[in-house]
Copies of this chain bind each other. A is one copy, B any other.
């Protein structure tokens, strides 16, 4: 998406330096900071490259503002903003599963969002969350009110915890995923519970569970 052509080494270096500088100093660098750090002979070269990085969506520049550089992530959102993931719906046995769309649709505005640790979006990209309703996920060690953070996906590696939709049962569930030929074994996180098996055609993977968050107070 964002990387149509190639990224010259020098431009990448500028981008990396800006990120490091902000992390280290809590404010963006000046053009001349970048010039010195990246050993560039002229501020106009820095300006030239910043202009392209701006055009290509890697950052925003506020004109005539000192240090007016704002880094953007892959989704075009400012880096360093409080990391939030939208709670797109509730999950319970038998409840219909909301659709995970890559775009933030208007309908999802009405739902809340939850703050998460910054490293989650950083490692997994765009995420969604579901709030668990009722005790139906107790075998996955997930309680009523817990929030499940999910990376949308239709595939999963063996052993990954997934959001699975069982078509025949019309039931959503959180289980570890183990393909076994034309069957699928869904293993609860709680080792004292027995796994369930069903035909591969009956299981639809909607996403991978990235984190479970339970808050008190």
Contacts and interface: CB of A to CB of B under 8 A. Distances in A.
B217 A208 contact: yes
B210 A212 contact: no
Give the dominant DSSP class at A's interface: loop
Interface in A24-72: 25-28, 30, 66-68, 70
Contact of A118 (B82, B142, B212, B214): B82
Interface residues of A, number: 43
A70 B25 CA distance: 8
A66 B191 CA distance: 58
Interface string A65-94: 011101000000010111100000000000
Nearest to A123: B217
A30 B135 CA distance: 52
Chain copies in the assembly? Answer: 2
A211 to B, nearest CB: 5
Most buried by B among A27, A66, A70, A80: A27
Nearest to A137: B141
Interface of A: 25-28, 30, 66-68, 70, 78, 80-83, 114-119, 123-124, 135, 138, 141-143, 160-161, 189-192, 208-217
Given A141-B143, A208-B216, A211-B215, 19 more contacts: A25-B70, A26-B28, A26-B70, A26-B80, A27-B27, A67-B67, A83-B118, A115-B117, A115-B119, A117-B213, A138-B141, A141-B141, A141-B142, A160-B217, A210-B215, A210-B216, A211-B214, A211-B216, A213-B214
Give 5 closest A-B pairs by Cβ, nearest first: A66-B66, A115-B117, A212-B214, A115-B119, A141-B141
